[in-house]
Amino acid sequence: MLGRTYERENCSAARALELVGERWSLLILRDAMFRGARRFTEFERSLGIASNVLASRLELFIENGLMEIRRAPDGAEVREYVLTPKGLDLEPVIHALSAWGDKWAAPDGAPILYEHSRCDGAVHLDLRCETCGDSVEPGEIVAVPGPGLQRA
Amino acid sequence: MLGRTYERENCSAARALELVGERWSLLILRDAMFRGARRFTEFERSLGIASNVLASRLELFIENGLMEIRRAPDGAEVREYVLTPKGLDLEPVIHALSAWGDKWAAPDGAPILYEHSRCDGAVHLDLRCETCGDSVEPGEIVAVPGPGLQRA
């Protein structure tokens, strides 16, 4: 059994993956972000995912504040799982995965396009240097210790 | 047993997750990108990962062209696992996860900073609209069908 946490790691990517690194997690969030899924049955149908797996992922999201439960606005006795700002902030992760897949694993072209809701323009993910202002290419980035680095 | 593929999905994020969505995968790539890890023992030591898991992840990366095997430059009889451009292109995924973790899961500040190798400036990940030029906030993105969308 592989655990869910990366205890030895003092790394923000590892911390993020503890919450969204399990199978289906990011696709559940994607459906909440981009397909309007809110109800258990909507996620289940959209993903074809086993209900016990879906339930455990949603529970983890609720526990860690990525989603919150709301009563359906039509008053029905059904719970809705709604992204919080913390969950919504994972959008760039979905976007980065999609951009990579579009480039390297979509021979027929991008299956999904991401557009800016205010003007329908294409949304592009960019790594940019705050000092020189240049767009930064993969391989031009170095990791250095930050203020939160504490070694066990 | 949860399979590795998302067969029902015609989505580039899902395609990417088939290659990098398993436990440890993205942290192995991170170590190759930012910690200079190349040898099996370097990944093993850095991550504290079981050798059979590491071997299976590296094999998948080689099979799918994210890494290639090189003979060590010092002529030693040891294989080195080196990122290809396809593997290196996953850098924004690591970066997006880190940025999220820095914001939401790093109360003592970012443990790692990412700098531009050419000028030491901070590298910032940005979602930007190609039409209006604005920075795009989470929640302002809509997904629309693209040219590669084929329904089974």
Q: How do the domains of chain B map onto residue ranges?
A: 12-88
Q: What is the pLDDT of residues B8-26, one digit of tens each?
A: 888 999 999 999 999 999 9
- Cβ distance B2 to A8 less than 8 Å, yes or no, reads no
**Per-residue model confidence (pLDDT) at position A152:** 44
A100 contact partners, CB below 8 Å, separation of at least 6 = B12, B16, B89, B90, B92, B93
ipTM of this complex: 0.93
**Confidence (pTM):** 0.93
B127 contact residues in A (CB cutoff 8 A): 91-92, 95, 123-126
Strand partners, A124: B128
Identify which of A94, A54, A44, A88 has the alpha carbon closest to the alpha carbon of residue B8.
Answer: A44
Q: In 10 A of CB B109, how many CB atoms?
A: 11
B152 pLDDT above the threshold of 50: no
Best B12, B56, B113 residue to mutate vs chain A (most A CBs within 10 Å): B12
Cβ-based contacts under 8 A for chains A and B = 324
- Cβ distance A12 to B117 less than 8 Å, yes or no, reads no
Q: What is the pLDDT of residues A86-96, one digit of tens each?
A: 999 999 999 99
- Cβ distance A148 to B94 less than 8 Å, yes or no, reads no
Give the pLDDT band of residue A151 (cuts 50, 70, 90). Answer: low
- The residue in chain A having the minimum alpha-carbon distance to the alpha carbon of residue B65 is A104
Counting Cα atoms < 13 Å in the Cβ hemisphere of B48 gives 7
- Cβ distance A130 to B147 less than 8 Å, yes or no, reads no
Q: What is the pLDDT of residues B55-90, one digit of tens each?
A: 999 999 999 999 999 988 887 788 999 999 999 999
Top-level CATH class of B12-88? Answer: mainly alpha
- Cβ distance A16 to B146 less than 8 Å, yes or no, reads no
Q: In 10 A of CB B61, how many CB atoms?
A: 23
- Cβ distance A101 to B126 less than 8 Å, yes or no, reads no
Give the nearest partner residue to B148 out of A22, A109, A138, using CB atoms.
A109
Q: How many angstroms away from the CA of B71 is the closest CA of chain A?
A: 21
Q: Is residue B4 within 8 Å of residue B18, measured between CB atoms? A: yes
Mean pLDDT on A129-139: 93
Mean pLDDT on A10-27: 94
DSSP per position, A51-82: HHHHHHHHHHHHHTTSEEEEE-TT--S-EEEE
- Cβ distance B110 to A140 less than 8 Å, yes or no, reads no
A105 contact residues in B (CB cutoff 8 A): 12, 15-16, 19
- The residue in chain B having the minimum alpha-carbon distance to the alpha carbon of residue A150 is B111
